[in-house]
Structure 1
């Protein structure tokens, strides 16, 4: 067999697909809940008599809790086992969902969203690591190509599902809808998902790292959110404090003799560094676009949330088609080829949005979103496969937590940055709202070019899998 040839892949059987389906239910709940509430902001504002600035914390609190929880996912899986950690995370998420539905004020809802976010933050990372451990290196690529489409669908499906629920039911059902899904996931997981034993090498919890990393990320995201809201003083304090805490964590992670919560040295080891960079920029592009487009469609074109959700749905269809394509090609085509092609498709699909001032027809917008969806599916699965297939099984939980953390942070930072750019362009363009959005989408193109530069460092060839 030549050096460039991919080794034959083991068959992905029905049992593995069943496990993947069960674990993806948790990821589906956690990722879609980050966006499903967005269309209910007006309803919640009226229900609780709160201001928009206050009720916006319903979304922000969930995001900050997710960011705070993800770094601990690796240690928890090592200490208590992957399946047990995943089951507890589902339970915490369902508890938070039930409490949110019973909230009596904006403050109580925000507090309960934190509980929900702590469970939701653990689900994607622990689920992916557990699935990669069960699948083994030779089957990881194909099975990840199936489940990785879920986070790509959530920014599209969330507003659509939320709008549908509010069209037929009251606001508590935005949260109650999680309960039957989670209950089914727990029952199926206890029956079909194998128990992966905890790590034999017990490490002490990195308390100092946890006090620096999770709060540092949360404070940084808070500061960036305040920039988007135009509040200078809290934004400056948040960004500076967050960066200082992350710098202190990096120094701690390099100097500690124990096992850090997230090992900074991971990012200097190829191909982890390039893969992590690609996921950061992908998160900025995906979540940034899903922030800009619904806003454009509702403010500049006057569409309802339901109509905007329908117009955004083709990106989800493209992501499904892309996942099918990747599932067939991931063991035959070099990872870098897939990723660079995917970034190229995202670039092509983003170009029409830089011309929103000309009011492109709905068909062009839908077609561009299909192309973007295919491109996004061609990035996520190959990047994760590169990492999961080249790392020791014992290190999978921590690597998975780091990758998921970077994707979330990339989405948060990208969205906040684009919100600041949009504010500036709206001020500059005045009443020409469509061109202000078009100007902002040039920054999305810039994110894609950065991702392309990082992708050139990914492996040209497949690794031989045992």
Structure 2
């Protein structure tokens, strides 16, 4: 396989597309340090206020399956620009919300637009880069979803230090406007690949609501869990018969997509779940303010940046399994300390643990996405990108909902010992990581050059 250099034009395109991804993923976490503030402002419990985060993630899950169809029907560039515009408008509505139900509803609209940005941007980028350059490009831009859970709380803490909570959403306006203007100039137009392809309304009506009902049931109703599971089962049965399903379940039976999917689901649960739990612990149990919480989370971003630099050098030379299993090991090592949260755990230990988690996460995401994209035809990129984004976000939403439920039960069991309740909950996060490790051992052993030669 001939290797072309990554030129300035491709980097400019990548920079603009990743700006949209950064905005969307940032908004999934920027409210993390504001959870306590929002709970006080709206008089909400932990299980109620977590819907400000979970509703956004579930809306993302609802939108992602449609991203491939929209790109094929209207073009990826047009879909991406429209999604950015809707996201900016929804951000303004969030800032103006006067009650928790209204805020959650506006977060749903925001998530529907935000859910289109990462998969559409990744598909446009993969098409522009080609198989020979996608590994090097994705290793750099792929770090953005890992940095957002860090910069989100940091930005949120800085904002809440000088302004009220609506500014958590006003901050999206200048970023979104800049993304639209730059996108019109720097992102090349793409062809409409299938303008007559019908949309799978039946599949969309079963998949997205089924996921939402299932996750809602995890925090509130066993009946909803069963109903959601039945809807998802009905979706699978429908998708196996449909000509163009909104999400093709057969993708998960094709190596290496199945184990790659598991790795991304658990990575999402670990990253988003920790970014829900840890800021809440630092404010409620450790007594830090919003800005102090955000600053303590910075090492995770430093680790992610360092891991991205390493992956950029190794992604074309080292077997995916080696990188991913190593990354999971670092994430597990970094998570272990959080199972011992309490007054005796120094801030330095928390900082080093976050550094390890960020470094390890960077070794997981980029190799997994590169592995999948290298083995696909350009026409299949939008749907595959949508599936990968769906899985990562699904892991985040389910992980957050499960961990909120576990935390609520542990707080009730532990009483005044709030730190111990959080420590108990982090054992579940560590369990997620162990599951990911088991799946990652099934990834290919061969180096990328050998895979290309064999293809």
Q: Does 1:332 align with 2:317?
A: yes
Match 2:86 to one of 92, 96, 100: 92
Aligned pairs (5 A) from 1:27-426: 27-41=21-35, 43-44=37-38, 51-52=44-45, 57-200=51-194, 202-224=196-218, 227=219, 231=220, 235-256=221-242, 258-357=243-342, 359-426=344-411
Match 1:11 to one of 5, 12, 15: 5
Mapped contact 1:64–1:222 kept (Cα < 8 A) = no
* Cα distance in 2, alignment partners of residues 292 and 39 from structure 1: 10
SS in 1 for 2:452: coil
SS in 1 for 2:116: helix
Query: What is the CA distance between 1:86 and its match in structure 2?
Result: 0.4
Aligned twin of 1:437: 422
Mapped contact 2:304–2:362 kept (Cα < 8 A) = yes
**Unmatched segments (≥5 aa) in structure 1:** 1-6
Query: What is the CA distance between 1:159 and its match in structure 2?
Result: 1.9
* Cα distance in 1, alignment partners of residues 436 and 50 from structure 2: 30
* Cα distance in 2, alignment partners of residues 103 and 357 from structure 1: 36
* Cα distance in 1, alignment partners of residues 425 and 51 from structure 2: 24
Query: What is the CA distance between 1:376 and its match in structure 2?
Result: 0.2
Deviates most, 96-105 or 86-95? 96-105
Query: What is the CA distance between 1:45 and its match in structure 2?
Result: 5.8
Query: What is the CA distance between 1:366 and its match in structure 2?
Result: 0.7
TM-score (norm 2): 0.93
Query: What is the CA distance between 1:334 and its match in structure 2?
Result: 1.0
1:413–1:104 distance in 2 versus 1, CA, 3 Å: closer
1:357–1:216 distance in 2 versus 1, CA, 3 Å: same
Query: What is the CA distance between 1:172 and its match in structure 2?
Result: 2.9
SS in 1 for 2:288: coil
TM-score (norm 1): 0.91
* Cα distance in 2, alignment partners of residues 125 and 28 from structure 1: 12
1:218–1:318 distance in 2 versus 1, CA, 3 Å: same
Mapped contact 1:359–1:434 kept (Cα < 8 A) = no
Query: What is the CA distance between 1:303 and its match in structure 2?
Result: 1.3
**Unmatched segments (≥5 aa) in structure 2:** none
Match 1:454 to one of 415, 420, 439: 439
Mapped contact 1:350–1:372 kept (Cα < 8 A) = yes
* Cα distance in 2, alignment partners of residues 386 and 59 from structure 1: 30
Query: What is the CA distance between 1:135 and its match in structure 2?
Result: 0.6
Aligned twin of 1:4: none
C-alpha deviations, 1:188-247, integer Å up to 9, x for none?
1111111111114742111110110111112122222xx2xxx4xxx2232111111110
Deviates most, 263-272 or 181-190? 181-190
1:432–1:56 distance in 2 versus 1, CA, 3 Å: closer
* Cα distance in 2, alignment partners of residues 330 and 51 from structure 1: 45
Query: What is the CA distance between 1:101 and its match in structure 2?
Result: 2.8
Query: What is the CA distance between 1:62 and its match in structure 2?
Result: 2.3
